[in-house]
């Protein structure tokens, strides 16, 4: 398990995507090229935050950077 996984796993993070949107949630799993978030909220500029149902799976290729507030 890499340092990234050890530090952020099971913490609330904000995943900023290459399209300018972001998804906030608890980083639950990090299998290979995917990130799995629980209790996720989708943020889009100019729109109200949207709670997402179930687990949210994000392809790492779409990730610009990850914040851990």
Protein fold of 3-67: SH3 type barrels. (2.30.30)
For residue 21, what pLDDT is reported? 98
Q: Can you list the alpha helix ranges (DSSP code H) found in the chain? A: 3-8
Yes or no: say if 17 and 44 are a contact pair by the CB < 8 Å rule: no
Cα torsion 11, 42, 17, 39 to 10°: value is: 20
CA 8 – CA 35 distance, rounded (Å):
11
pLDDT in tens, 21-47: 999 999 998 888 999 999 999 999 999
The fraction of the chain above a pLDDT of 70, given in percent, is 91
CA dist 38 and 27 (Å) reads: 7
Predicted confidence at residue 4, as pLDDT, reads: 61
The full set of domain ranges for the chain reads: 3-67
């Amino acid at each position: 398990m890499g340092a990234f996984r050890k530090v952020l796993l099971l913490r609330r993070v904000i995943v900023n995507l290459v399209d300018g949107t972001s998804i906030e949630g608890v980083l639950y799993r990090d299998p290979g090229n995917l990130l799995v978030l629980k209790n996720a909220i989708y943020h889009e500029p100019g729109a109200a935050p949207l709670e997402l149902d179930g687990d949210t799976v994000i392809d790492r290729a779409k990730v610009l950077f990850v914040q851990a507030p």
